[in-house]
Amino acid sequence: MYNSLWQTILGEIELSLNDDVAFNTWFKDTSLNITTEDIAIIEVKNVFAVSQLQKKYDALIRSLFTKNGVTPLDVRYAPQKTGVKKTINREISTALPVTPAGDSTLPAMATVPISGNLNTKYTFDNFIVGGSNDLAYSAARAIADSPGRKWNPFFIYGGVGLGKTHLAQAIGNEIIDKNPLARVTYASLNDFTREFLDSIRFKKKFPDRYRQSDVLIIDDIQFLTGKEKTQDAFFDIFNTLHEANKQIILTSDRPPSSIVTLTDRLRSRFEMGMLVDVQLPDFETRCAIIETKAAMSGHELDRETVEYIAQSIKTNIRELEGSLNQLLAFSEMRGVTPDKNMAEGLITGASRTSRTKSISSRQVIDKTAKYFSLSPSEVCSAKRDKHIANARQVAMYLLRSELHLSYPQIASELGRKDHTTAMHSVSKIENSIKLDMHVREQVDSIREALYV
């Protein structure tokens, strides 16, 4: 029904982008729906496209709606329905050694989460429950069942890689599953801060989505430390939402009482709802996590291997996952069944779970060149044209930040003899990133291209 409007808008997007690759990547095979609540829902290929459109093209799309005489109440992005997600989860949950209760509460149909910032891979179904996290898990489910009514705010704290983000997002995903129109906003405190500072610096309007959320999830709230102005802004939004009985979910690596320089008024608000912690998983839970994750990717590990990994990695579920993935990748590459020996070799190896290993300097230079529409040899040349010099500096910065190369190494990757240029370039881009949103976006885009 909205096809012709959307085709018109797409035509204008294509013209204004003037970039076939970008257009095909993000806009090809998209479609538009407008709900009875007057909300425009643009269906795109996948969750990644959702976040790209939201980040980069939202303003353009909104302005084109208006230009074509349609002003929906809101514009949202959703991945196309595939029906895959729930099927996979169901299969897995029957294979779980420790299965979270509540399979019967699964909605029968595949769902279309609307909020672009949530990652649909974080669900309750694939969260393994054990003694270390069962309280947090039950509370999270209760919140998802009646957001805004039970405990507000819901504050989850605990060490790194123990499932705080997973749980917080699972609540959001579950709420959207039940009510696709719920406005669930997810942001890390750092995203929030950045948007807040940009709004001041560039005299832009601070995004309404925070204040207009039905559910607001702020991850890693401990970073409020030392940010007075951001604390004030957040306090304001917190109160507005709280008074309207909108659910607020916060995560932190420590309890509110240990967040230093948090104003008392915020601390007391953080403590007024429900505080739960996630603790280090015990041995059995670690085994269950490994077995389940292996099953999710279609592998079965023998008990010895599972126990070996569970014994070797005790403090961080993300690391546990990383080692397992490495083991599975390695066994696939070799075409042999993963076993304890292989696990030993990988886990004792020095290069454990380092994502920096998977990209090379060559890729950094190629992707940077491509981003700036240059050839890699131009980036590595001695040319001083501003555009080329800038691309070269960004490449140097990325070699440092992503690959941790030394300055002499960076210089030699770019065909330089003198490493002081590399030092200056890296520090120049470091500063620009702090001051200039545009540079930040450039660097983020290249990073994304490197890892996706």
Residues forming contacts to ligand ADP in the complex (CB under 6 A) are: 126-128, 133, 160-166, 289, 317-318, 321
Closest CA relative to residue 163, chosen from 215, 128, 189, 139: 128
* Choice between 223 and 407, CB closer to Mg ion: 223
* Choice between 289 and 364, CB closer to ligand ADP: 289
128 contact, one of Mg ion, ligand ADP, none, CB 5-8 Å limit per kind: ligand ADP
Determine if 169 is a binding residue for Mg ion (CB under 5 A).
no
Compute the least distance from the CB of residue 340 to Mg ion, in Å: 31
Helix axes 386-403, 419-435, angle to 10 degrees: 90
* Choice between 75 and 274, CB closer to ligand ADP: 274
Closest CA relative to residue 252, chosen from 125, 174, 136: 136
Compute the least distance from the CB of residue 355 to ligand ADP, in Å: 13
111 contact, one of Mg ion, ligand ADP, none, CB 5-8 Å limit per kind: none
Q: Which of 117, 165, 252, 323 binds Mg ion (CB under 5 A)?
A: 165
* Choice between 159 and 180, CB closer to ligand ADP: 159
Compute the least distance from the CB of residue 27 to Mg ion, in Å: 31
160 contact, one of ligand ADP, Mg ion, none, CB 5-8 Å limit per kind: ligand ADP
* Choice between 217 and 365, CB closer to Mg ion: 217
241 contact, one of ligand ADP, Mg ion, none, CB 5-8 Å limit per kind: none
Compute the least distance from the CB of residue 90 to Mg ion, in Å: 26
* Choice between 320 and 422, CB closer to Mg ion: 320
Closest CA relative to residue 299, chosen from 328, 320, 274, 321: 328
127 contact, one of Mg ion, ligand ADP, none, CB 5-8 Å limit per kind: ligand ADP
79 contact, one of ligand ADP, Mg ion, none, CB 5-8 Å limit per kind: none
How many beta carbons lie within 10 A of that of residue 189, not counting itself?
21
CA distances from 118 to 26, 86, 124 (A): 18, 16, 14
* Choice between 31 and 316, CB closer to ligand ADP: 316
Q: Judged by CB under 5 A, which stretch of 49-57, 159-167, 223-231, 255-263 contacts Mg ion?
A: 159-167
Compute the least distance from the CB of residue 158 to Mg ion, in Å: 10
249 contact, one of Mg ion, ligand ADP, none, CB 5-8 Å limit per kind: none
Compute the least distance from the CB of residue 163 to Mg ion, in Å: 8
289 contact, one of Mg ion, ligand ADP, none, CB 5-8 Å limit per kind: ligand ADP
Compute the least distance from the CB of residue 287 to ligand ADP, in Å: 12
Residue showing the smallest CB distance to ligand ADP in the complex: 163
Residue showing the smallest CB distance to Mg ion in the complex: 165
Closest CA relative to residue 224, chosen from 260, 180, 254: 260
Compute the least distance from the CB of residue 103 to ligand ADP, in Å: 16
* Choice between 161 and 374, CB closer to ligand ADP: 161
* Choice between 164 and 392, CB closer to ligand ADP: 164
Tokens representing 210 are: 């925070």
**Are the beta carbons of 421 and 408 closer than 8 angstroms?**
no
Tokens representing 200 are: 């001041």
| Interatomic CA distance for residues 326 and 345, integer angstroms | 11
CA distances from 301 to 39, 126, 313, 320, 327 (A): 47, 18, 16, 14, 10
Closest CA relative to residue 301, chosen from 289, 312, 290: 290
Count, residues near Mg ion per rule CB under 5 A: 2
What is the contact surface with Mg ion in residues (CB under 5 A)?
164-165
